[in-house]
Amino acid sequence: MKNYECIFLDRDGTINHDPGYISQLEDFKLFDFTISALRLLKSISNKFIIITNQSGIDRKLVKEIDLLGINNFLMSEFANNDIPLLKIYYCPEHPDQASDRRKPGVGMFIESSKDYSIDLSNCLMIGDSISDIQPANTLGMDSVLVLTGNGERDKNKFVNDNKPTYVAQNIMTGAKLLTQ
């Protein structure tokens, strides 16, 4: 069992259902197994960070104030379950005008490593798409592709050395694999 300095999590499709652009807290639903999986993962890291693309803001489909409400809910859920979530980093940029902050760019990861003095090469990224796994590979992180969300669609898009370290049905099966 390997320990990690920090576990980075994608949001939509990884820890919660992804019906499309989530603009209201009442539409935000964690998977039933998310909290249990995070509790398991806590045995291999005492830090979590969420890194999420939220282009719904630039597309005018989501108000930033509503996204911040969802973020506050997530911070509370993690805290109430004694899961150490340091911060939620989000990129509101439209893909057509994206900077390096938008995944698969590494900007949010670099920003978080500076904010919290984290050695990214000793971290893990869990996500449901190729755009979650690519920055992990670029930064020398281990990664888990979960097949929830876009994972089933993206699992065959990886080539050569750009593959995830692990593939799991969901965050719970991934947590069990990593903690055995």
Question: Can you list the positions of beta strands (E) in the chain?
Answer: 6-9, 48-53, 85-91, 123-127, 142-146, 166-168
Provide the number of structural domains found in the chain: 1
Give the domain extent around 138.
6-179
Predicted pLDDT at 6: 98
7's tokens? 């576990």
Q: CB–CB of 88/50 below 8 Å? A: yes
**Each residue of 130-166: pLDDT tens digit?**
999 999 999 999 999 999 999 999 999 998 778 999 9
Residue 71, in any domain of the structure? yes
Radius of gyration of the chain measured on its C-alpha atoms: 15
Residue 143, in any domain of the structure? yes
Beta bridge partners of 126: 9, 144
12 is catalytic: yes
Residue 74, in any domain of the structure? yes
For residue 19, pLDDT over 90 is answered with: yes
Q: Which of 12, 128, 132, 142 is catalytic?
A: 12
Residue 128, in any domain of the structure? yes
Q: Which of 10, 128, 142, 154 is catalytic?
A: 10
Question: What is the CATH classification number for the domain harbouring 75?
Answer: 3.40.50.1000
Residue 1, in any domain of the structure? no
Q: In 3-state terms, what secondary structure has residue 4?
A: coil
Predicted pLDDT at 159: 85
